Amino acid sequence: MEYVQMTLDDWLQEKEAIRKDLCVATEAFVRIGYRLRRIRETKAYEKDGYHSVSEFAEAEYKISKSTTSTFIKIHETFAKGPDSMELKEPYKGIGSSILGEMLKLSDADRELITPDTTRAQLRELKAFNKTEPTEDTGLSETIIEFFREKPEVLNEFYSSDGYTTGDMEELVDILNPSGSLVYRKGSYMLFFYDLDKGIKYKVFGDPENHSMSYGELFSMMQEIYHDAISGNRTYESYYGKMTVEETTVTTTVTTTRQAKPEKPVESQVERTPEKPEKEPKKTLEKVLPAEPEKPINTMTETDSEQLPGQMEIIDYPEAMPKQTRKEYLDGCTEFGMALYLQRWYLDNPEAGEIIKSVDRLEAWLKEKVDQNGRVEEE
């Protein structure tokens, strides 16, 4: 059989077709469970001389005893009621194999599973529950380790238009393009969903789930990286240069959103030529933060195209129009203003006292600032 290359549109259509077929299979699974349950409860199998529902299913349909039990338990656990052949809303769209594995989960863990959850992610959750962590990490440390393993994601995040304009959907798409991402480290296991559902996480030994919005995550990232934010060099500014081992480039197809134009995958670091068998391991080297390629709290309007050789007004600071800090903040998006105020509060030891005084706060708003919201130097 000759195969032709599948386009991105074809790929998305095939994925959706499989999902629909799996839903049909799951619904059939529930209906079979319902009927086997009725036969078991009424002992109708005795009409044909069988001693149990499992004996009946084995003889009539070649269904093993364990599979018969799974059919019935799925109906008992996930159907809307004992007389219903329909799944409860939270479980619609989840494949029958996943539902079968979910039977052994607690109610809290079942809340973490969605139609996009893979069997590998489900098994990772089971392993997390069984294995005591070797290190006791906090949430901030877990986020730091998460991005340590994702240099391209961190750099794209802080150099994106979404970070400049506060476009939450774009930022979530950068962080979690598949719509279902799971990360486990130490005492924490994080589950990333879409923008509306946000993030849930488990702490080892705690039976309850915890929730966090993407806005809360991005605020935590600001606190962690605020001294190192430098566009597409943020990773190097915070973690240091990547070692040869960390430059491995992997590509995966994990999108469930609207198809976007394909673009070449580029590594954030240059590939190094092949060398003899042994090479001294590179050590981490801190890189000084560079100015972000775009101001963090810029206005959303785009500049007109610049002619070759044309100088911009920012090349002549003395010609820049004067603006107060309030005027600057008026030009920010809500998200951009939140980032600006948070960073000012963290960086300024007198911020708390300024906020307590109406006069000092008014004077602070009247201060002259540049196009990036920084106080003009005399």
Tell me: the pLDDT tens digits for 206-234? 999 999 999 999 999 999 998 899 899 99
The pLDDT of residue 300: 38
Of residues 3 and 172, more confidence is placed in 172
148 has a pLDDT exceeding 80? yes
Q: Could you tell me the two tokens for 198? A: 């946000």
Mean pLDDT of 107-127: 92
Q: What is the pLDDT of residue 169?
A: 93
Torsion over CA of 41, 47, 53 and 58, rounded to 10 degrees? -160
The sign one gets for the Cα dihedral 178, 184, 190, 191 is: positive
The whole-number pLDDT of residue 7 equals 79
pLDDT beyond 70 at 276 = no
Q: Are 191 and 184 in contact (CB under 8 A)?
A: no
Looking at the predicted structure, is the pLDDT value of residue 275 above 90? no
Entry field: residues in the chain: 378
Lowest mean pLDDT among 31-40, 323-332, 352-361: 323-332
Q: What is the pLDDT of residue 290?
A: 45
**For the packed helices 65-78 and 53-61, what is the interaxial angle rounded to 10 degrees?**
120
C-beta of residue 158 within 8 angstroms of C-beta of residue 325: no
SS3 call for 168: helix
Task: Check: CB of residue 186 under 8 Å from CB of residue 135.
Answer: yes
